[in-house]
Amino acid sequence: MIQRIKFDITQPYITEPLEVETFSKACKDNHISVLNRLYHISNNKKEYNVVLEILDHPTLVGKVSVSMECAYVGRAKNQASLVKEMKKYIHRSPRYTVRCRIHTINGAKEVFAFKHVTSNQDKVYSLIAQLEEIITKEYLT
């Protein structure tokens, strides 16, 4: 059985800046990746989503996931650009990585793997539907 899990990739933009106090403290105390993560949290952006999962199969486990790289825009981009090291994050375009991995329960032998990177949301939804069909036909019947 495949379980579909609700997810949202419709707004891949970080628009809201951090609170001034949070921003200044994060710049002093943390690594740049932590600062980037704080922007994601404050803008309610989930970077990693499991969207399909194989359940109750006697020999296989697997999942389909979508990772989302958000683009910085507006006030958030202006604030983040004050930190030189944030350059690698603020010049990104929205990008999605769709992954699927199915492996055996015993021995964790990989039986199917897939990875695709795209900037098109429609392609993400299309790939998820195609992967669900492949998994159902090839591995669950």
Mean pLDDT over residues 73-87, rounded? 95
Contact 8, 66 (CB under 8 A): no
CA distances from 93 to 10, 27, 83, 96 (A): 14, 23, 19, 10
Per-residue confidence (pLDDT) for residue 141, from 0 to 100: 80
Summary mean pLDDT of the chain:
94
pTM here is: 0.89
